Amino acid sequence: MMMTGAQAMVKCLEAERVSLLFGYPGAAICPFYDSLAESSIRHILPRNEQNAGHAASGYARMTGKPAVCVATSGPGATNLFTAIATAYMDSIPLVVITGQVSSELLGRDVFQEVDTTGAAEPFTKYSYLVKDAAEIPRVFKEAFYIASTGRKGPVLIDMPVDIQRQLLEFRYPEKVDIRGYKPCSKGHPMQIRRVAEAIKTAKRPLLCVGGGVFAAGAQDAVRTLCEQCSLPVVATMMGLGVLPTGHPLYIGMLGQSGSEAANRAVEQSDLLILIGARAGDRAVASPQTLEAMTTVVHIDIDAAEIGKNLGTTIPLVGDAARVAEQLVEQHPVGEWRKWLEWLEARRAEARRPDAPVKDGYIDPNAFIRLLSERMEDDAIYVSDVGENQIWSARNVRIRSGRFLTTGGMGTMGYALPASIGAKLAAPEKQVVTVCGDGAFQMAMMELATANQHHVPVKLVVMQNGCLGLVREIQQNQYRGREVAVCLDGSPDISGIAAAYGIPSARIRSMDEAEQAIDTLLDGERSFVLVCMVDPREGTGQEAAV
Amino acid sequence: MRRIMSVLVENKAGVLARTSGLFARRGFNIESLAVGETEDPTVSRMTIVVNGDERMIEQVEKQLNKQIDVIKVKTLEIDTSTRRELVLIKINAAQQNRGEIIDICQIMKAKIVDMSHTTLTVELCDRPERCNLLLEMLTSYGVAELARTGMVALQKGSEAIALKK
pLDDT tens readout for residues A320-329: 999 999 999 9
Specify which residues B152 forms β-bridges with. Answer: B84
Share of residues in chain A with pLDDT > 90 (%):
91
A115 touches chain B (CB under 8 A): no
In whole angstroms, give the CA distance from residue A2 to residue A507. Answer: 61
Domain boundary pick from B55, B76, B97: B76
- Average pLDDT (B117-122) is 96
With b for 16 or more beta-carbon neighbours within 10 A and e for fewer, the A490-529 pattern comes to: eeebbebbeebebebbbbeeeeebeebbeebbeeeebbbb
Residue B164, in any domain of the structure: no
- Decide: A508 and A362 in contact? Cβ < 8 Å: yes
Which residues have C-beta within 8 Å of that of residue A353, sequence separation ≥ 6? none
| Within-domain flag for B13 | yes
Distances in Å between the Cα of A318 and the Cα atoms of A11, A154, A382 are 33, 20, 28
* Complex confidence, ipTM: 0.89
* B37 plus B70 within the same structural domain: yes
Q: A101: helix, coil or strand?
A: coil
CA distance A164 to A73: 13
CATH architecture of A2-169: 3-Layer(aba) Sandwich (3.40)
Chain A residues inside the 8 Å CB shell of B56: none
Residue A357 has pLDDT above 90, yes or no: no
Using the Cβ of B55 and the Cβ atoms of chain A, whether some distance falls under 8 Å is answered with yes
Q: Domain check: are B97 and B136 in the same one?
A: yes
* Max Cα–Cα distance, chain A, nearest Å: 71
B64 and B87 fall within a common domain:
no
B93 & B139 share domain: yes
Helix (H) or strand (E) holding A323: helix A320-330
C-alpha to C-alpha distance for B150 and A13, rounded to whole angstroms: 45
The number of distinct structural domains making up chain B is 2
What is the DSSP code (8-state) at residue A352? P
> With 80 as the cut, is the pLDDT of residue A470 above it?
yes
Enumerate the residues of chain A whose CB falls inside 8 A of the CB of residue B17.
118, 121
Tell me, yes or no, whether B159 lies in a domain. no
- Chain B residue with Cα closest to A145: B68
Residues B59 and B87 in one domain: no
**Chain B hits for A182, Cβ within 8 Å:** 165
Q: What percent of chain B has pLDDT over 70?
A: 98
* Residues 6+ positions from A384 with CB-CB distance below 8 Å: A405, A412, A413, A414, A415, A416, A433, A434, A435, A436, A439
Per-residue pLDDT tens digits for A372-402: 999 999 999 999 999 999 999 999 999 999 9
Q: Residues of B with CB below 8 A from A311's CB?
A: 55
Could you tell me if residue B40 is inside a domain? yes
Residues B94, B72, single domain; the answer is no
pLDDT in tens, B27-45: 888 999 999 999 999 999 9
The architecture CATH gives domain A189-350: 3-Layer(aba) Sandwich (3.40)
B18 touches chain A (CB under 8 A): yes
- Sheet of B70-76, strands arranged across: B29-37, B43-51, B2-10, B70-76
Q: Which residues of A touch B59 (CB under 8 A)?
A: 304, 307-308
User: Do B53 and B105 share a domain, yes or no?
Assistant: no
Residue type (1 letter), A378 = D
Please check whether residues B65 and B110 belong to one and the same domain: no
Tell whether B94 and B144 lie within a shared domain: yes
How far is it, in rounded angstroms, from Cα A43 to Cα A196?
48
A348 confidence band (pLDDT: 50, 70, 90): confident
* pLDDT tens, position by position, A217-245: 999 999 999 999 999 999 999 999 999 99
- B65 — contact with chain A (CB < 8 Å)? yes
Out of B57, B76, B95, pick the residue that ends a domain. B76
**B1 pLDDT tier (thresholds 50, 70, 90):** confident
pTM given for the model: 0.95
Mean pLDDT of chain A: 95
Q: For residue B71, tell me if it sits in a domain.
A: yes
Residues of A in contact with B21 (CB under 8 A): 121-122
Contact B165 A304 (CB under 8 A): no
A30, pLDDT greater than 90 = yes
Same domain, B66 and B128: no
Tally DSSP H helices, then E strands, for chain B. Answer: 4, 9
Mean pLDDT of A289-312: 92
Q: Per the domain annotation, does B116 fall within a domain?
A: yes
| A138 vs B: CB within 8 A | no
Q: Does the structure show a pLDDT above 90 at B162?
A: no
Q: Could you read off the pLDDT of A4-21 as tens digits, one per residue?
A: 999 999 999 999 999 999
Q: How far is A135 from chain B (nearest CA, A)?
A: 14
User: How much is the average pLDDT of A276-286?
Assistant: 88
What's the CATH code of the domain at B114? Answer: 3.30.70.1150
Q: Minimum mean pLDDT among A39-48, A398-407, B53-62: which range?
A: B53-62
Closest chain A CA to residue B22: A122
Q: Does B162 touch chain A (CB under 8 A)?
A: no
Measured distance CA(A367)–CA(A388) in Å, rounded: 11
Range of the domain at B40: 2-76
Write down the pLDDT at residue A326: 97
- The distance of A151 to chain B (nearest Cα, Å) reads 10
- Using a CB-CB cut-off of 8 Å, the residues of chain B touching A180 are 9-10, 67-71, 165
Q: What is the per-residue pLDDT across A85-117, written as a single tens digit (0 to 9) for each?
A: 999 999 999 999 999 999 999 999 999 999 999
Cα–Cα dist A297/B30, whole Å: 31
CATH T-level topology, domain A364-532: Rossmann fold (3.40.50)
pLDDT grade, residue A541 (50/70/90)?
low
CB proximity A106 to B under 8 Å: no
Residues of A in contact with B68 (CB under 8 A): 125-126, 146, 178, 180-181
- Domain membership of residue B8 (yes or no) is yes
| Cα–Cα dist A531/A361, whole Å | 8
Contact A393, A240 (CB under 8 A): yes
Contacts of A492 (CB under 8 A, 6+ apart): none
Average pLDDT over residues A243-261: 94
B40 and chain A in contact, CB less than 8 A: no
Chain A closest-CA separation from residue B36 CA (Å): 18
B96 within domain boundaries: yes
Q: Does this chain's domain A2-169 share its CATH topology with A364-532?
A: yes
Indicate the pLDDT class of residue A279, thresholds 50, 70 and 90: confident
CA separation for the pair A527, A456 (Å, rounded) = 8
Q: Closest Cα partner for A364 from A201, A239, A534?
A: A534
Percentage of chain A beyond pLDDT 70 is: 99
Mean pLDDT on A347-352: 79
User: Residue A292 — very low, low, confident or very high, per pLDDT cuts 50/70/90?
Assistant: confident
For residue A543, the model assigns a pLDDT of 46
Average confidence score pLDDT of chain B: 93
Q: Which of B76, B98, B116 is the last residue of a domain?
A: B76
Same domain, B6 and B70: yes
Name the residue ranges covered by the structural domains of chain A.
Answer: 2-169, 189-350, 364-532
Which of A132, A139, A179 has the most B C-beta neighbours within 10 Å, making it the best mutation to test the interface with B?
Answer: A179
Residue A545 has pLDDT above 60, yes or no: no
CATH of the domain at B69: 3.30.70.260
Residue A354 has pLDDT above 90, yes or no: no
Query: Chain centroid to CA B107: how far?
Result: 22
In B, minimum Cα distance to A302 occurs at B66
Looking at the fold, whether B69 and B111 belong to one and the same domain comes out as: no
Residue A381 makes CB contacts below 8 A (sequence gap 6+) with A372, A375, A392, A396, A398, A401, A402, A403, A404, A432, A434
The 10 Å Cβ neighbour count of residue A210 is: 28
